[in-house]
Amino acid sequence: MVEVVVERDEDGRVLTVTVHGDDSPEARVATALVEAPILGLRDYLHLDPAVRREGRTLRLEVDRSDFFLDREVDAVMETLVLGLRSLARDGGILLREVGESIRV
C-alpha cells in the first residue's frame, strides 16, 4: 500500500508531502506526481525545495519564506494535492492531509 502524507501550516499552506511507497505502479505514479512540482519549483520559480529520499520514501519540503512567491508556490502545491486526491479516489493510494485547509 502507498501512503502519502500532506502537511499544512496554520494558514493552510502545504509545507511537506511525503510518499511512503513500494514497488507498485501506484507508488511510481504517486512518486512521479511529487517529482513534477520539484522540477517546477526549481526550474520555473528558481526555488530550492528540500528533497529527501530514504529507501522507498520521498519527502518534499517547501520553503514558504518568500512572501512574493506564495501564490505561485500555492498553485504548484495545490495542483499536486488535487492529483493525489484523484489517485486516492481511484483507490490507488492512501492520502492523509494533516493541518488546516487552504484559504484562498
pLDDT digits (tens, 9 = 90+) for 2-26: 999 999 998 899 999 999 988 899 9
pLDDT at 58: 96
In-domain check, residue 20: yes
pLDDT at 101 > cutoff 90:
no
**Nearest Cα to Cα of residue 60 among 69, 70, 50:** 50
Q: pLDDT class for 100, splitting at 50, 70, 90?
A: low
pLDDT the model gives residue 92: 81
Q: Is residue 19 assigned to a domain?
A: yes
Please give the tally of structural domains in the chain.
1
Compute CA 38 distance to the chain's CA centroid, rounded to the nearest angstrom: 9
pTM for the model: 0.90
CATH number at residue 74: 3.30.70.1490
User: How far is Cα of residue 34 from the mean position of the Cα atoms in its chain?
Assistant: 5
Pick the more confident residue, 28 or 104: 28
104 within some domain = no
Return the pLDDT at 91.
86
pLDDT of 47 strictly over 60: yes
Give the type of residue at 18: T
Identify the domain containing residue 17 by its residue range. 3-98
Interval 72-93: pLDDT, tens = 999 999 999 999 999 999 888 9
Q: Is 103 contained in some domain?
A: no
Distances (CA, A) of 94 to 8, 23, 46, 47, 85: 17, 15, 31, 29, 9
